[in-house]
Amino acid sequence: MMKMSKRQTAIEWLLNELIRVGYFQDMIPKITFEQAKAMEKEQIMDAFNDGEHQQGFECEAEQYYKETYES
């Protein structure tokens, strides 16, 4: 079975891009970023649970999130 590469969430991508271009530097407190990531995780899991695409999945939302987004 081929292992899928992990994906970035939109929050992770945005922060990395802003840092890359030097827009924010160290102005974003780490806690704010962690809060945004936690909120996005909940939204992704809610969408997984609510969506019709859950049909045929043999995992729970938490497992789906970990397998898709966490390294």
Q: Give the pLDDT of residue 61.
A: 85
**What pTM, to 2 d.p., does this model score?**
0.64
The full set of domain ranges for the chain reads 26-69
Average pLDDT value for residue range 16-33: 74
Residue with tokens 């827009």: 23
Summarised one tens digit per residue, pLDDT across range 32-68 is: 888 888 999 999 988 888 876 667 667 788 888 888 8
Q: How far is CA 24 from the centre of its chain?
A: 21
Separation in Å, CA 44 to CA 3, 59, 65 = 21, 14, 7
Residue with tokens 């939109």: 10
Separation in Å, CA 3 to CA 6, 67, 68 = 9, 10, 10
